């Protein structure tokens, strides 16, 4: 086969989707369109919903991050199974983050990261990559990760990029796109604006028709997270028939589906940022790829789960 390895294309697509799951996939949840009006959910107190929580330059906090991902590729030519490969990645990170620079809306553009613990298992047992000094993470295109104390090897940069990428903001912020101007009861739900979802995904190179998207956001509960009174919101998005750029010549996408969910704990104090966020992403892609031995049917399944929790700040 010629052109990009399908696994690399899928891995890149998963990274794109994951890094913008909160800021972009949830950006599909609108409050202005009729289809996104919240449905009432009984009696009890109501709460204002605000996803945008601006940071001030100099803000500092400690965060624990866990990422677990797996991918399986199976290839069949005719009735013969010719490959069945599995890969996995587990990353555990504890680090202090400091917002050196923020934009006009309080979104970080330059972070300093002091790594306290960094353990990676790429399927061959855990390793602890050397991280020399303070890291600087910038937002520029796909972003950059550098160390003031010395060069980082490419593999370490790739692993760090799984959990430290700053995604590019799109549009005017999250709340004008998917927020709701009315306070909501626990249990309230609102649907997504599929046109805005498709536009947001297209901005990061993921092309899908708006009528191939669906999902909703729900105010799940009021709960304490590390002693902080929070609202827990869960947003779900499904997409089918994703376009897959960069595939080998002659390859045809038979199926390309994605399901994503983000559950975030937002403090009742509207000036405080999310205290905990859990992101789930699942993809299934089936391709027909011409080879010298005949047409190969390639099936790729990927899952990714990331949890981020503030320890302080």
What pLDDT was estimated at residue 228? Answer: 96
In a domain, 146, yes or no: yes
- Residue 236 clears pLDDT 90, i.e. is over it: no
Residue 1 placed within a domain:
no
* Domain-located, residue 201: yes
**DSSP-assigned letters across all residues of 201-212:** HHTTT----GGG
Q: Which structural domain, as residue segments, surrounds residue 174?
A: 6-312
Residue 33 inside a domain? The answer is yes
pLDDT, tens only, 47-94 = 998 888 899 999 999 999 999 999 999 999 988 888 899 999 999 999
| φ/ψ (deg, to 5) at 195 | -65, -45
* The total number of structural domains that make up the chain: 1
pLDDT tens column, 279-311? 999 999 998 988 888 898 989 999 999 999 999
Residue 267 belongs to some domain of the structure: yes
Domain assignment present for 34: yes
Residue 306 falls within a domain, yes or no? yes
Q: Which residues partner with 62 through β-bridges? A: 96, 312
pTM of the model: 0.82
Spell 261-277 as b/e; 16+ CB within 10 A means b: bbbbbbbeeeeebbbbb
pLDDT, one tens digit per residue, over 87-136 is 999 999 999 999 999 988 888 999 999 999 999 999 999 999 999 889 99
Separation between Cα atoms, residue 99 and residue 61, nearest integer Å: 9
């Amino acid at each position: 086969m010629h052109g990009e390895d399908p696994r690399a294309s899928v891995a890149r697509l998963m990274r794109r989707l994951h890094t913008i799951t909160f800021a972009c996939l949830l950006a599909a949840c609108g409050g202005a369109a009729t289809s996104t009006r919240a449905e009432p959910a009984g009696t009890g107190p109501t709460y204002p919903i605000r996803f945008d929580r601006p940071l001030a330059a100099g803000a500092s906090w400690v965060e624990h991050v866990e990422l677990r991902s797996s991918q399986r590729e199976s290839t069949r030519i005719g009735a013969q199974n010719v490959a069945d490969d599995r890969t996995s990645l587990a990353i555990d990170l504890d680090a202090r983050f400091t917002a050196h620079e923020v934009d006009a809306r309080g979104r970080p553009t330059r972070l300093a990261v002091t790594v306290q613990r960094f353990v990676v298992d790429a399927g061959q047992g855990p390793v602890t990559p050397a991280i020399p000094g303070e890291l600087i993470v910038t937002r520029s295109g796909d972003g950059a990760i550098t160390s003031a104390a010395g060069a980082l090897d490419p593999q370490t940069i790739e692993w760090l990029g799984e959990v430290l990428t700053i995604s590019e903001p799109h549009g005017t912020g999250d709340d004008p796109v998917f927020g709701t101007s009315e306070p909501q009861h626990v249990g309230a739900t609102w649907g997504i604006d599929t046109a805005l979802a498709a536009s947001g995904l297209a901005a990061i190179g993921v092309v899908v028709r708006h009528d191939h998207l669906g999902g909703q956001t729900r105010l799940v509960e009021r709960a304490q997270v590390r002693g902080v009174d929070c609202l827990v919101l869960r947003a779900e998005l499904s997409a089918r028939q994703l376009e897959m750029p960069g595939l080998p010549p002659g390859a045809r996408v038979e199926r390309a589906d994605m399901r994503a969910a983000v559950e975030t704990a937002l403090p009742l104090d509207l000036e405080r940022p999310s205290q905990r966020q859990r992101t789930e992403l699942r993809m299934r892609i089936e391709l027909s790829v011409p080879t010298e031995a005949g047409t190969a049917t390639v099936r790729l399944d990927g899952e990714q789960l990331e949890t981020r929790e503030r320890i302080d700040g």
